[in-house]
Chains A and B, each alone.
With several copies, the nearest count.
Chain A
């Protein structure tokens, strides 16, 4: 049975990728490393960030709002202290990066050259300090520019991660492709709120946070379908994937691989369970190569 997939020139043993923000080298012992196709690091920024004030988490109906605030040690310490520990795991490591300005992205990409990483994911769901805090991923043009500059600055494999707050998710994906992206991943969390009605204030330490988990799956799946249909580069689907069936839906919708976020927090052995489930499904359906599944959705005439 062939589970290996290709994302441009990045070949993964299987399509299960750990999404950014739910894994750390310290917690590696909780994860079934051998069942993981690739790991995306927690997003790294140019300078260290202490993160947002608590509470940083809030459970909602079938969802989780987080407001971690990109807490991280900054790219320099990351490269020195954390990256080597990621690299020891023996799994392709994709480093998630984010900047405060557009110029930060290529600079960071340069710093990551020659480190043996599998590639870079661009986290575009963060505020652009130069543009009044608007998220980089809102505008297709900005995404185009960032991707192109990153590709120019390094020969690394690059995958922009789209935000569902994009003005137009398909346009944004196309812009990424045009900028030279090797693959596109989506979605990041949905901007969300929850209010303490007695205190009349946010139930998080910040006003807003990002919604993830099963609640968003049907929307994420639709966006992945739309983007996969529009671009020619591979798409990595993400958003609310909790089990093998969810993962298969994303593959059938057109994703070449999937990222698992929230589900890893609830059950870190889920990557192995999902992979097993996919194997079992392929067996039952007589499918030998997982690539047969990718984009296999049948469209009824009425839908076009």
Chain B
């Protein structure tokens, strides 16, 4: 039985006012996780919030795994208050990873907090290239560390770091020589990525978000429309072929 785990909080580090890195200890999750997969986390032991919260695996370090979390509501707020030594109830790893072994020369595209699953992916690739966009410099989470493990081309809407503009503006150019796109970020960005990938004739895989209850395919709650009917983000995704999803 794939039960949930009690993962111990090893450390918590804020990267900005509302984004933090949480390191949790759970050997099995650390062992089994692949880039693009996520965990489903309880934020409290009471009934508010009632549901778990899905969070991508940001990294794995020995027996630990890391999450990059942006505070947007009460669940993530509660998570931001955990202390070293606390235990969190975690279900995972869940979902399907990026099919990175099937391709030779992927281009990675991240928008803001969408860097989470791609960070983990980067570490599995040999000569990774990442286009990383955000509104401004402060939202290019972990940029410095990223440059150590990948060629990173940053974009900011306000020009405070890298090129001014959206991460997709020069995507077509950058795509040359790549045989696939792996992307995660806001819906608008993903839509643009998929359109460009189709234009160029390169496959794309995007990591999607949808509200979830179970996270393991039981409730049929996290539906996303695809050319083959509704698919479940938690079980059929979160990584899905860009050509299939209707977004």
Contact = CB atoms under 8 A, between A and B. Distances in A.
B211 interface: yes
Interface string B18-55: 00000000000000000000000010000111111000
Contacts, number: 113
Nearest to A35: B1
Contacts of A269: 1, 3-4
B218 A264 contact: yes
A277 interface: no
B247 to A, nearest CB: 11
A61 interface: yes
A32 B214 CA distance: 15
Q: Is the interface of B mostly helix, strand, loop or mixed?
A: loop
A54 B219 CA distance: 13
Contacts of B172: none
Most A CB contacts (10 A, CB to CB) among B42, B221, B225 go to B221
A17 B52 CA distance: 22
Interface string B149-176: 0000000000000000000000000000
A22 interface: yes
A52 to B, nearest CB: 8
A27 B50 contact: no
A268 interface: yes
Q: What is the interface residue range for chain B against chain A?
A: 20 to 34
A54 B210 contact: yes
A56 B221 contact: yes
Contacts of A71: 220, 223, 230
Given A54-B210, A54-B223, A57-B211, A62 B47 contact: yes
A58 B211 contact: yes
Contacts of A63: 50
A64 B235 CA distance: 20
A283 interface: no
Given A29-B2, A64-B213, A56 B48 contact: no
B17 to A, nearest CB: 22
Contacts of A29: 1-2
Contacts of A148: none
Contacts of B3: 30, 32, 268-269
A161 to B, nearest CB: 18
Nearest to B3: A269
Interface in A22-57: 22-24, 26-27, 29-33, 42, 50-57
Interface residues of A, number: 39
A59 B221 contact: no
Contact of B214 (A52, A53, A62, A268): A268
A62 B4 CA distance: 21
A124 to B, nearest CB: 20
Given A30-B1, A213-B50, A266-B52, A57 B222 contact: yes
A252 B225 CA distance: 29
Contacts of B225: 53-54
Contacts of A264: 214, 218
A71 B230 CA distance: 9
A27 B2 CA distance: 10
B229 interface: yes
Given A30-B2, A55-B210, A64 B218 contact: no
Contacts of B211: 54-59
A295 interface: no
Interface of B: 1-4, 42, 47-52, 89, 91, 210-214, 216-225, 229-230, 235
Given A22-B214, A29-B1, A54-B230, 18 more contacts: A21-B220, A30-B216, A31-B1, A51-B230, A54-B211, A56-B211, A57-B221, A64-B213, A68-B220, A71-B223, A262-B50, A264-B214, A265-B51, A266-B50, A266-B52, A268-B216, A269-B1, A269-B4
Interface of A: 21-24, 26-27, 29-33, 42, 50-59, 61-64, 66, 68, 71, 213-214, 242, 262, 264-269
CB-CB nearest 4 A-B residue pairs = A57-B221, A27-B218, A265-B214, A265-B213
